[in-house]
Amino acid sequence: DAKTTQPPSMDCAEGRAANLPCNHSTISGNEYVYWYRQIHSQGPQYIIHGLKNNETNEMASLIITEDRKSSTLILPHATLRDTAVYYCIVLIQGAQKLVFGQGTRLTINP
């Protein structure tokens, strides 16, 4: 699986958009970008995934650059409940094993 690089921490004001970057310069053609988050003392939660097109669901948007070497997770209107560690994971479909790196600790401030 390709390696990912994320900033260790970020802050965002409540109500604003939170933009979380992820670099994955060694991604291969059949690898997807997945985002999960883990709120303190809870199990990880799936957010969104994509291959090369931008994706949007009820939780977030995922923007993948044309060369696929980086992506950005966007939480459009962050709330205090979005404070969590966010993990960007690159893996093939059917990898079965999720491997979480260090992630980005996002703090939403009132």
Partner 1 sequence: NAGVTQTPKFQVLKTGQSMTLQCAQDMNHNSMYWYRQDPGMGLRLIYYSASEGTTDKGEVPNGYNVSRLNKREFSLRLESAAPSQTSVYFCASSIRDWDNEQFFGPGTRLTVL
Residues 72-91 that bind partner 1 (CB under 8 A): 91
Cα 81 to Cα 92: distance, rounded to the nearest angstrom: 30
Binding of partner 1 by 2 (CB under 8 A) = no
Binding of partner 1 by 59 (CB under 8 A) = no
Cα 62 to Cα 27: distance, rounded to the nearest angstrom: 16
Cβ distance to partner 1 smaller for residue 41 or 110: 41
Cα 43 to Cα 59: distance, rounded to the nearest angstrom: 17
Q: Contact residues for partner 1 (CB under 8 A)?
A: 32, 34, 41-46, 49, 91, 93-102
